Amino acid sequence: MRFILPIFFWFTFAYILLASDSYSVERIQPSNQFPVSEVTDIHLGNKGLLWLGTNSGLFYYDGYSIKSQHSLLFDSKDLTNDYIHDILQDDIGNIFLLTAFGIEKYHVLSKISEPILRLSSVEQTKFISIYNHLNILIHSSNSITRYSLESKEIDTLFQSWDSLFLNPLLAENSLWFIDGNQLIQLDLLDNTRAISPLPADINVTSYALQQFDSHNLVIAINNELYKYNISTGNYLKIARFSNAIEHLSEVLNNNMVVTTKDDVFLLSVFENGYSDPIKLYGFNKTQINDVLLDSSGLVWIAASQSVLKINPYSKVFDYQTILNEKIDNASGSNIVTESEKLGFAYTSFNGESYFYLAPEDLEIMLPISDITSICLIDSRLVFANNESLYSLDLEKNQYIQLSDTVSINTISRIGNEFWITSSTGIYRLDGNKLVEICGVGAINIFPAGEDVYLIDEKGISRLNEDLCRLEVLLPDSLFNAKVNITDILQSYDGKTWIATNSGLYQFIPDTTATLSEQFVKHYSGKVYSLIEAAELPEIWFSTDIGLGAINYRTNEEMFFGYTDGVEFTSFINKCAFLDSQGFINFVSTNQKVNFDPKQVYRRTVTPEVYISFANFYGLKQTQEIAFFSSDTLVVSPDIRLFELELTTFDYFSQENTAFSYSLEPFDAPAKWKVVEGKNKLSIGRLSAGKYKLLIKAKNSHGLESKVPRSIVIFVKAPLLQTRWAYFIYFITIIIMVVLLIRIRTRNLRRINREYKDKERIAKKIEVQKEELTLKNKNITDSINYARRIQLAMMPSDKLFSSVFPDSFILHIPKDIVSGDFYWINQVEDKTFFSAVDCTGHGVPGAFMSIIGVELFRRITEIEGISTPAEVLNSLSRNFERVFGDVDEMKLRDGMDLAFCSLNEDFTLLEYAGAFNPLYIVRDSSIMEIKGDRHSVGVYEKDDNIRYFNNHVIPLKDGDIIYIFTDGFADQFGGPEGKKYKYRRFRHLLLALHQLPMEKQADFLKKSILEWKGDLDQVDDILVMGLRIHQKKI
């Protein structure tokens, strides 16, 4: 018996070692910019952050990468020494570091390192724990000490003379440790000790302690593992290992990790028993510095230059090599599953086609190549290529050609029947005959509930009882030529699941529902195969990134990738099945993955969002904040961009965590968007104001944050847009408004005064206007009366017409009375006539004309002068007599005139002129007799007397005589506003001289008025014309 027990033990131990197998192991290393040669300690922080102590300082792991913490600080805040031996954290987040210097307190939020205790040697020194928030328990190779954070004092709790590397344990208020062959319990409240002996015949060379529960401890002594009952003092041996146990992890969910010099084991300990150890990983001359088991069951190993993450659940997924290399030539369209049977068609190296069926190990040569579709029901296989359709009886190894005219798209199983779709119709296989069901071409066909649905280029259509198209349910925007349907599954609850190369859809037939309610997209990405779990309400599917599952009762989605133990993603379309044990099998090109869905680890804790790092980029500086934990964020005006690195500390599959956020004004409703940069949320420049940032996460198992991370962002306004600036603007505006009002009031008062002054002036002007109007009326009346007197003194038109019947007078005064006048008189055998332009016009000219008329009458009738020149000379002398009595006055007034006399028979004309010429038109030519170049009566007293010349012109019958003043020629007008001038006047007279004299007058008047246009009349206008009709005496 003495030999049997050791032999049994060693066989059991050998079985444990041989039963171990490799698990999913991920090596996590710092980047090249952080030279780390050794990871000395690993510590899981309060919120799940993984702290790493190294020989190059303090690092942390946020699920994405290892980042340096202390190297981000300024020199004045840096660690005293970079070599970190141990890490400890209190409840409020402060970290205590055991470095080569001693103990340092590191404030995570303020990023300040504070040396608190200098130690002479830390080679074999470790932290035990923090007791009562105020004391740090420390052990070395032969002592246990307590350091008070409050009093800054240190005292020794236990001293051992054995140089033994201790591993004490703090459990509630007691400190447990081994000294010699005794287990000692030190009560920290009263400093009493309880001693319990170890199992007999044990020479302790190393030990480790962990608490199982309030009544039991787990004790590792040398290479043996015991469970110790505190109440009874009994030891229960759990396991024995080939090498000494170096580390024990905490017991979580009845599991713990045991490490030896070469291996890592997972062990389950229960109240009434234990499980066999499972080897997780084997080392080859690699030192293990620390071990950690987190709440999710992941195992963390601090070893040499890296951290190892071991997933104990990865062995849930089992992998088996399928058959041989023949399946490498198969694809999803020519692989088929039926219950536990797996068959596939392939083409050998010589070009021949075969069908292989497992596990029967049956290989049958096929009559056609390039198989495009196969379907297996029981022992009957139906297969096709683009040209032919065949049926194969696997039991009899007999095949028959069913058709060589139908181009087959798919062969599907509807119930226990083969249905075939083609471009020309849908068929059902009845025995060995094809029976046409519907003459509508289809790409694929599938059952849903009690109906059958087809897919073609128009979309998805439902067939009615007569199996004809009833209606198009979904247009080809979802299912078109670019979307390939890879698998179709009908779950137990009657829902149909459609896998495509662009996503997974749930089809719920309901004629009363909308399209979006009938077709629900659950996953975006390529989906290969679908299978329903046997005892769970779950649809499992294979994708190009791993495996997924959907609980069709709760709609929860889960995804499993490499970190969960899914080692490959090269799955095949429509190739999944359940075996007799209810295990799910997915097939790849040369392997299949087999697992029990009930054993797959499902995370139940919803993720919480943390900000592991925040970068602020401004114009002047860049700011970095690690572990941003505040609920508020104040952003200065110069910040153009800030970037938040998000994490959930989901170390199972952090890289598959999806983040979404909402950034809106504080009171606005949330609008969720997907974080594009995986876990980096970049926010550009925001306008000044208050915002609410909400962030939530969804892990790979479909669990979403119950409460989003909420951050209130205050964006400061630039200096010129601050409240003080707006206050100054407001005050300035008020001052400007007041000044403007005062200025406007002053201006209004001034304007009012001016208005009143103008009103007074206007009243005066009105009075003056009335006076002027009255005076103007009186003057106008006087002038009108003077005109009547002037007209009365001048010869009438009738007199002129009686003397010269063929004649005209054109007289257009500038004012009411005129300075131009015409005169005619007959004395004996002489007829005198003249056109006179007195100096000035209006009233002065009128007075001059009256004087002139009276002087003409006196000279011709009283003085008896008949020669025109003498008449003008006498007229000048009479002007001297009239105006000579005015003292110290130089005569400035006079007359310009043309004076003519005719003999009795109108054959001889005498003419004298002062400036004004005489025109005679004869034989369509005009003769001009110019007057003298001085006026009548215009001279100064010192001037020599000027005399006028007399001109005698013989006349012919029909000659036309024109005399006139300068008013016609001096009138401004025409297109350029110039004078009419004498040259144009002469051309006008030549142009109209043949017209009757009355029409000539009308034409001259019309011509001068058109020339003047809107311009003012310059002077009085007077033109006289007469045609000579000689008398016979």
Relative to beta strand 673-674, strand 380-384 is unpaired
Beta-bridged to residue 541, according to DSSP, are 530, 548
- How many angstroms from the chain centroid is the CA of residue 893? 92
pLDDT at position 1008 is: 93
912 vs 769, higher pLDDT: 912
Q: Work out the average pLDDT over 468-476.
A: 54
The pLDDT of residue 210: 87
Give me the pLDDT at residue 843, please.
74
Per-residue pLDDT for 1001 more than 50? yes
Higher pLDDT: 994 or 204? It is 994
Give residue 900's pLDDT band: very low, low, confident or very high (50, 70, 90): very high
Residue 256 bridge partners (DSSP)? 267
For the beta carbon of residue 446, count every other beta carbon within 10 angstroms: 24
The SS3 assignment for 631 reads coil
pLDDT at 456: 73
Pair of tokens at residue 626: 């690690």
Q: Which residues have C-beta within 8 Å of that of residue 18, sequence separation ≥ 6? A: none
What average pLDDT score do residues 373-378 get? 77
Amino acid at 794: M
Decide: residue 826, CB within 10 A, 0-12 exposed, 13-18 middle, 19+ buried. middle
Cβ distance 834 to 899 under 8 Å?
yes
Q: Which of 403-412, 630-639, 759-768, 995-1004 has the highest mean pLDDT?
A: 995-1004
Q: What is the pLDDT of residue 76?
A: 41
- Per cent of the chain over pLDDT 90 is 15
The tokens of 568 are what? 């490959």
Whether the model clears a pTM of 0.85, i.e. scores above it, the answer is no
Per-residue pLDDT band at 684 (split at 50, 70, 90) = confident
Instruction: Enter the tokens of residue 608.
Output: 């919480």
The answer to whether residue 451 scores a pLDDT higher than 90 is: no
Mean per-residue pLDDT, 1003-1011: 94
Find all residues with CB under 8 Å of 370, minimum gap 6, and list them: 347, 353, 385, 386
DSSP collapsed to 3 states, 390-442: EEEECCCCEEEEEECCCCEEEEEEECCEEEEEECCCEEEEECCEEEEEECCCC
Q: How far apart are CA 460 and CA 80, in angstroms?
A: 71
117 to 91, 146, 154: CA distances (angstroms): 20, 12, 9
pLDDT of residue 6 exceeding 70, the answer is no
Q: What's the CA gap between 490 and 455, in Å, rounded?
A: 16
User: Mean pLDDT across the stretch 865-869?
Assistant: 92
What is the SS3 assignment for 528?
Answer: strand
Tell me what the mean pLDDT of segment 348-359 comes to: 68
14 has pLDDT over 50: no
Q: For residue 8, what pLDDT is reported? A: 32
| Residues 391/433, Cβ–Cβ less than 8 Å | no
Report which DSSP code applies to 304. T
Cα–Cα distance measured from residue 40 to residue 52, given in angstroms and rounded to the nearest whole number: 8
What average pLDDT score do residues 971-988 get?
Answer: 93
Question: What residue ranges define each of the domains in the chain, with the CATH number in brackets?
Answer: 1-30+206-316 (2.130.10.10), 610-721 (2.60.40.10), 796-1027 (3.60.40.10)
Phi, psi of 791, deg, nearest 5: -65, -35
pLDDT band at 992 (very low <50, low <70, confident <90, very high): very high
- pLDDT band, very low/low/confident/very high, at 316 (cuts 50, 70, 90): confident
> Residue 12: pLDDT band by 50, 70, 90 thresholds?
very low
- Looking at per-residue pLDDT, the higher value among 477 and 15 belongs to 477
The tokens 């005109």 sit on which residue?
A: 787
pLDDT at 71: 46
**Separation between Cα atoms, residue 94 and residue 699, nearest integer Å:** 29
Bridge partners (DSSP) listed for residue 782: none
Q: So what's the pLDDT on residue 628?
A: 67
- Can you tell me the distance from the alpha carbon of 597 to that of 583, in angstroms, rounded to the nearest whole number? 7
Report residue 433's pLDDT band, with 50, 70 and 90 as the boundaries.
Answer: confident
Looking at residue 612, its amino acid is S
Residue type, 370: D
For the record, the structure tokens of 4 come out as: 């049997």
Residue with tokens 């001085």: 934
Interatomic CA distance for residues 283 and 281, integer angstroms: 7
Amino acid in the structure at residue 275: S
Least confident piece of the model among 177-186, 559-568, 983-992, 1005-1014 = 559-568
State how far the alpha carbon of 884 is from the alpha carbons of 847, 877, 880, in Å.
17, 10, 5
Which contiguous run of DSSP H or E holds residue 897? strand 895-902
Taking the C-alpha atoms of residue 341 and residue 967, their distance in angstroms, rounded to an integer, is 132
Q: Express each pLDDT in 198-228 by its tens digit.
A: 887 777 878 888 888 888 888 888 888 888 9
pLDDT of residue 402: 81
Q: How confident is the model at residue 346 (pLDDT cuts 50, 70, 90)?
A: low
Residue type, 470: L
288 three-state secondary structure: strand
768-792 tens-digit pLDDT: 888 888 887 887 777 777 778 777 7
Say how far residue 87 (Cα) sits from the centre of its chain.
46
Question: Do residues 843 and 817 make contact, with C-beta atoms less than 8 angstroms apart?
Answer: yes
Please name every residue paired with 909 in a beta bridge, in sequence order, or none if there are none: 902, 953
How many CB atoms within 10 Å of residue 932? 17
Q: What is the Cα–Cα distance from 869 to 912, expressed in whole angstroms?
A: 5
What would the mean pLDDT of 836-856 be, rounded to a whole number? 80
Residue 498 has pLDDT above 60, yes or no: yes
3-class state of residue 461 by DSSP? strand
* pLDDT reading at 349 higher than 60: no
Q: Which two tokens stand for residue 362?
A: 């049956």
Instruction: Tell me the three state secondary structure of residue 176.
Output: strand
**pLDDT for the residue numbered 998:** 92
